[in-house]
Amino acid sequence: AELPPPYTAIASPDASGVPVINCRVCQSLINLDGKLHQHVVKCTVCNEATPIKNPPSGKKYVRCQCNCLLICKDTSRKIGCPRPNCRRIITLGPVMLIPEEQPAQPALPVQPDGTRVVCGHCGNTFLWMELRFNTLAKCPHCKKISSVGSALPRRRCCAYITIGMICIFIGVGLTVGTQDFARQFHATYVSWAVAYLLGLICLIRACYWGAIKVSYPEHSFA
């Protein structure tokens, strides 16, 4: 007779011969009647999946720390948990490869080089691979740009306000000091316009940096 899959022994709790299996998460019994053709079954107690067959060819099982069972390519080195309340990035090393003839084992995530950041727009957490703060980041969930840390927008807002006010003061000085000269040489008006325009652009940029959303780091990895 053909041997059962090696993930766990399928037994019968009584003489009725109904096949059952223990849940790999909560150890509750799962009734396999009519489900033996499936690769995985869902526990009715904890709602987590348990494999009962070898994964399809070229695939492997990986279980996240949140107990979500993932099926990915056997050559995958990094996968992400799809659950909205987890979103954990799991890095798979060579020792975590699961041959098809071996039972599936829980995969422990390896700490990635980066920082988990809480998006200032949507509140979701994402992995920011930069090892420094005071940078701009694009959230993979809402696709919006935010600043990682508040130092960068505060510094740039002050810088643009300073430059803008200097340009406006220069424009005012030119306007007051070259009125008579401008009546003879109309090109002088261009210098006024350039000074005021540069000042206005800097003040607009200062408003942009003052209103930009800030995303704060949750954890940092060495």
Domain ranges, ordered by start, for the chain: 18-89, 114-221
Residue 209 has pLDDT above 80, yes or no: yes
- Residue identified by tokens 């492997």 is 60
The SS3 call for residue 33 is coil
Question: pLDDT per residue over 3-51, tens digit each?
Answer: 444 444 454 454 456 788 888 888 888 888 888 888 888 888 888 888 8
Amino acid at 59: K
Whether the CB-CB separation of 93 and 62 falls below 8 Å is answered with no
Q: Which two tokens stand for residue 117?
A: 């950041």
Question: pLDDT per residue over 63-100, tens digit each?
Answer: 888 888 888 888 888 888 888 888 888 887 654 434 43
Annotated catalytic residue within 23, 43, 64, 72: 72
Note if 66 is an active site residue.
no
Residue 141 has pLDDT above 80, yes or no: yes
In this prediction the pTM is 0.45
In percent, the amount of the chain with pLDDT more than 90 equals 12
13 to 17, 30, 52, 64, 179: CA distances (angstroms): 8, 11, 17, 30, 101
Rounded CA-CA distance 48/42 in Å is 6
Rounded CA-CA distance 194/196 in Å is 6
Query: What is the residue-averaged pLDDT of the chain?
Result: 78
- Provide φ and ψ at 42, rounded to 5°: -105, 130
